[in-house]
Amino acid sequence: EEIVAHSSNVSSVVLGKGSGRMLATGGDDCRVNIWSVSKPNCIMSLTGHTTPIESLQVNPNEKLIVAGSRSGSIRVWDLEAAKVLRTLPGHKANICSLHFHPFGSFVASGSLDTNIKLWDVRRKGCIFTFKGHTEAVRCLRFSPDGKWVASAADDHTVKLWDLTAGKLMFEFTGHTGPVNVVEFHPNEYLLASGSSDRTVRFWDLEKFQVVSCIEEEATPVRCVLFNPDGCCLYSGFQDSLRVYGWEPERCFDVVLVNWGKVADLSISNNQLIGVSFAQSTVSSFVVDLSRVPKSDSVPHGLIRDDQPLVPPTPTGSSLRRIYDRPSTSCSKPQSRVKHNSESERHSPSSEDDRDEKESKAEIQNQEDYKEIFQPKNAICRTPPRNEPFPAPPEDEPGTAKEAVKPSQAADVQTALPKQELVCTVICESLFLLPLPPIASSTSLTRTEPSVIPAARNEPIGLKASDFLPAVKNQSQTELVDEEAMSQIRKGHETMCVVLTSRHKNLDAVRAVWSISDIKARHNSLDSAVAINDLSVVVDLLNIVNQKPSLWKLDLCTIVLPQIEKLLQSKYESYVQTGCTSLKLILQRFLPLITDILAAPPSVGVDISREERLHKCKLCYKQLKNISNVVKNKSGLSGRHGSAFRELLLLMAVLD
């Protein structure tokens, strides 16, 4: 996908590493623009810098963004509040690199002035300045435990700095050209660096020596990224992606990608996303990692997918320590902080206030901005391995709470232990089945309510008088327990058959679900629909609704026809479940569906895009059908009418 990102040349791009879907671009027009990788329209434009943007970085939770300019000034923006948070002056030349601390509110900056500065965003000041490089600092990375920072520079060196001691730990030499990028292994004491000398080097952070060096490339190394489980390293080159192992050094795969000079990489949903820029355009590319081999055998000293993360035993040279991730951020000796901060800290002044007043956040797309930042929705992710059938309500508590609010049954589920969750969901809806006809002692006709409430004190469609002997004089009636029980037992066997069949259906669906595969979730819904029993579909949706991350576009195409039936059901709990599912789909997928349908046709053949377009067309057609049902029911009174009116507002874009 290609977008025109700025009115002038693009000078910097970065991907959010939390979701992999957030893109920030900086240009010679002195603006920072925020995008969603899957959408062609700018979400927000940040102004305030007076010189071109040279470097960008997004914090881990994607709520803050920091931008450094050619003049050496740094601005930190709060994306949720849509305003500038801090202006950090101090560098004397271009800002070449930035990075957020993994835990605390700290930012590291590297400059053409050869200095590295550590900033406290909360206190609006420089905590420490690291000096040692002799040329521009091109890349900075904090270690996963937040105790170190690694720097790469044009002076051909990689330096490792101790934040607690405030000094240089080690200088790695060996590259023969400017070092463009460094990256810490997510678990082990290992550092990777890529250089313009066309080599990738791996450094042991315990022994402070080179582990291996890969020298076969023909173009400079532009960016590197470890796989989240640490099994391999992805390296971005001119028009190619290479997958490396380091003990021994080897290349697992080469993927040709026409991305030119790739600028940044990120991983989301087992897909690698790469971005590059040329003049005023930014292009994004996706590589399916499920088709990319990550090893030719199980390498020594690496963490395997199917094994728990445990510290390796130090028996071989290839086994390294893993990081301890403290719950608090690193702290510095008070005397050192005081000594440096007094000379570096910039006290607030009228000039700073004027700068911050001149900085603005122009929201270009209000709908996308609210969807992403107010509140910030979770991006769809692949569920973790070996996940049990009932999605635990603790996962994504904020979203789950909102999703299950209309349902009284769900309120009970959240307070129950995990092992009772499925039983509660099943039992709640078991007794919503229309009961079989039972022999009655009276021929009086009964009128059943149009909507059967979910909360009640007696079975629907039954009256106690139906099970008692008919008498002419009520005053002479003496109730006999045996006679009453004999009448009640008449329908017992029939009801047992209904419940046994229901139980078998749920077992069949659960057996498919239990397979540790994302496709199994779709197959389980397929099987639930094939059973042609709405009560089974309701049970399954009550679970899926509590974990919105399970929702995918494929799931929507399966569920939407069933939701149309649920919304027209006479059972209140069925309607509640249908409304909850439809609301989740509208909030998470309707903007995506409308954007894809409105996008111009692509040039050439893109099979995945065509499949996605087909699914979006199918969902759009189904939503149009459902909108008619919602319109008809929006005039109802009570909470049902309120729920349908809320859905009608969400579906307004369909008209």
Query: Can you give the pLDDT at residue 152?
Result: 95
On the question of pLDDT at 443 being above 80, the answer is: no
Query: Can you give the pLDDT at residue 414?
Result: 36
The candidate with the shortest Cα–Cα distance to 200, out of 180, 221, 185, 222, is 221
User: Per residue in 301-340, pLDDT tens?
Assistant: 333 333 343 333 333 334 677 777 654 444 433 333 333 4
Residue 151: band (very low, low, confident or very high) from pLDDT cuts 50, 70, 90: very high
On the question of pLDDT at 341 being above 60, the answer is: no
Q: How far is CA 569 from the centre of its chain?
A: 34
* Per-residue burial over 2-24, b = 16 or more CB atoms within 10 Å of its CB, e = otherwise: ebebbeeebbbbbbbbbbbbbbb
Query: Can you give the pLDDT at residue 321?
Result: 75
On the question of pLDDT at 19 being above 80, the answer is: no
On the question of pLDDT at 137 being above 80, the answer is: yes
Most confident range (mean pLDDT) of 29-33, 501-505, 531-535, 631-635 is 29-33
Peptide bond into 248 cis (omega under 30): yes
Percent of the chain with pLDDT over 90: 22
Assigned token pair, 521: 């979730």
Beta carbons within 8 Å of 179's beta carbon, 6+ residues apart: 138, 139, 152, 153, 154, 156, 157, 158, 193, 194, 195, 196
* Per-residue burial over 591-613, b = 16 or more CB atoms within 10 Å of its CB, e = otherwise: bbbebbeeeeeeeeeeeeeeebb
Mean pLDDT over all residues of the chain? 74
Distance, CA of 572 to CA of 366 (rounded, Å): 35
User: Per residue in 271-299, pLDDT tens?
Assistant: 899 999 988 889 889 999 988 888 764 43
Distance, CA of 216 to CA of 430 (rounded, Å): 65
Higher pLDDT, 483 or 444: 483
Residue 516: band (very low, low, confident or very high) from pLDDT cuts 50, 70, 90: low
On the question of pLDDT at 29 being above 80, the answer is: yes
Query: Can you give the pLDDT at residue 336?
Result: 36
Beta-strand relationship, 240-246 and 249-256: antiparallel
On the question of pLDDT at 362 being above 60, the answer is: yes
Range(s) within the chain of domains with CATH label 1.25.10:
500-651
Return the bridge partners of 323, or none: none
Residue 268: band (very low, low, confident or very high) from pLDDT cuts 50, 70, 90: confident
Most confident range (mean pLDDT) of 108-122, 506-520, 633-647 is 108-122
Query: Can you give the pLDDT at residue 56?
Result: 93
Query: Can you give the pLDDT at residue 294?
Result: 81
Return the bridge partners of 342, or none: none
On the question of pLDDT at 78 being above 50, the answer is: yes
Query: Can you give the pLDDT at residue 368?
Result: 67
Assigned token pair, 252: 């697992």
Q: Which runs of E-coded beta strand occur in 9-157?
A: 10-15, 22-27, 32-36, 44-47, 53-58, 64-69, 74-78, 83-88, 95-100, 106-111, 116-120, 125-130, 137-142, 148-153
Distance, CA of 112 to CA of 64 (rounded, Å): 24
Residue 533: band (very low, low, confident or very high) from pLDDT cuts 50, 70, 90: confident
Range(s) within the chain of domains with CATH label 2.130.10.10:
2-288
Q: Which runs of E-coded beta strand occur in 145-196?
A: 148-153, 158-162, 167-172, 179-184, 190-195
- Fold classification of 2-288 is Methylamine Dehydrogenase; Chain H (2.130.10)
Contact yes or no for 407/577 (Cβ under 8 A): yes
Burial of 315 (0-12, 13-18, 19+ CB in 10 A): exposed
**Mean pLDDT (whole number) for 407-416:** 36
DSSP code for 474: G
Query: Can you give the pLDDT at residue 404?
Result: 35
Q: How far is CA 59 from the centre of its chain?
A: 14
Q: How far is CA 338 from CA 125, 343, 345, 539, in A?
A: 12, 9, 10, 61
Most confident range (mean pLDDT) of 340-354, 393-407, 436-450, 558-572 is 558-572
Contact yes or no for 352/346 (Cβ under 8 A): yes
Residue 101: band (very low, low, confident or very high) from pLDDT cuts 50, 70, 90: very high
On the question of pLDDT at 525 being above 80, the answer is: no
Q: Look at phi and psi of residue 330 and say left if phi exceeds 0, alpha if psi is from -120 to 50, else beta.
A: beta
For the domain 500-651, what is the CATH code?
1.25.10
Residue 49: band (very low, low, confident or very high) from pLDDT cuts 50, 70, 90: confident
Distance, CA of 652 to CA of 361 (rounded, Å): 28
Beta carbons within 8 Å of 209's beta carbon, 6+ residues apart: 203
